[in-house]
Structure 1
């Protein structure tokens, strides 16, 4: 059984390995191995993960069973959109998907921001499993972006949003 808890410094290497594995399993067919290697080196480096861990007004969680980490999630209050929390990452290792781990991490992240009125995220348009997951959790499409993740990624994404009920 996996428990959702706040991530710590000691988790970062396992989280990085999880992200690299999950990104290759999910995105190689969309972007190619080279682009996924480039993005994971930049976005999922230990320094990048450490910065997320230390970010104010943010929550970084892992799903842990005491032996391994099966999933991770990271959300933070937006600097651009008032009363909006941005779900930056929610990933579960492929061998543990469809067991409720993503749901449990999402539920935890959703409750960590009592002042937020809505949650936003970006998702690959062709990632139908992720889109179905988010739609099942109350998200709807509100726009698109030509640069998912950062201003120069060149990766288009759908922007989804959910109003949070308090």
Structure 2
């Protein structure tokens, strides 16, 4: 059984490996394995993850069974819009997907921002599994954007939003 808890610095090597595995499983067919390797080498390296862990307006969670991590999630207040949380990452290792781990991490992240009234995320429109997950958890498509990061700059994204609170 996996329990959701706040991540610690000691988790970051495992989180980095988890992200590399889930990104390859999810995005190799969309971006190519080489590009995914380049992205994970920078975006999911321990120093990059540590900077997220240290953010004061954010929450970084992992799903842990005492032996391994099955998932991770990271959300932070969005500076561009007051009272809005940006869900940056929610990933579960492929072998543990569809077992409620993503749901449990998402439920924890929703409660970490009591002053927020909305959560927003961006997702590749070709990522059918993620879109189905987010739709099942109350998100609706509210717009479109494009990646601005150098490795995937210009790749289209769909923007989804969910109201939070009462």
Q: TM-score range by the shorter chain?
A: over 0.9
Aligned-partner Cα distance in 2 for 1:81–1:97: 31
- Tell me which stretches of 4 or more aligned residues in structure 1 moved more than 6 Å: none
| 1:35 matched to 2:26 | no
Aligned position for 1:8: 8
Give the alignment's TM-score, normalised by structure 1. 0.96
What SS does the corresponding residue of 2:99 show, helix, strand or coil? coil
The Cα shift of 1:151 comes to 6.8
The total of aligned residue pairs comes to 165
Aligned position for 1:153: 152
The Cα shift of 1:144 comes to 1.1
Aligned position for 1:22: 22
The Cα shift of 1:153 comes to 3.0
Pairwise mapping of residues 86-165 of structure 1 onto structure 2 (< 5 A)? 86-147=86-147, 150=149, 153-154=152-153, 155-165=155-165
Q: Deviations over 1:109-141 (max 9, x none)?
A: 000000100000011101111100000000001
What is the aligned-residue RMSD (CA, Å)?
Answer: 1.1
The Cα shift of 1:42 comes to 1.5
Aligned-partner Cα distance in 2 for 1:74–1:151: 21
- Report if the CA contact (8 A) 2:116-2:165 is conserved: no
Pairwise mapping of residues 75-94 of structure 1 onto structure 2 (< 5 A)? 75-94=75-94
What SS does the corresponding residue of 1:132 show, helix, strand or coil? helix
Aligned-partner Cα distance in 2 for 1:38–1:159: 24
Unpaired runs of 5+ residues, structure 1, are none
Aligned-partner Cα distance in 1 for 2:101–2:74: 14
Aligned-partner Cα distance in 2 for 1:75–1:81: 14
Give the alignment's TM-score, normalised by structure 2. 0.96
CA distance change for structure 1 residues 145 and 68 in 2, over 3 Å: closer, same or farther? same
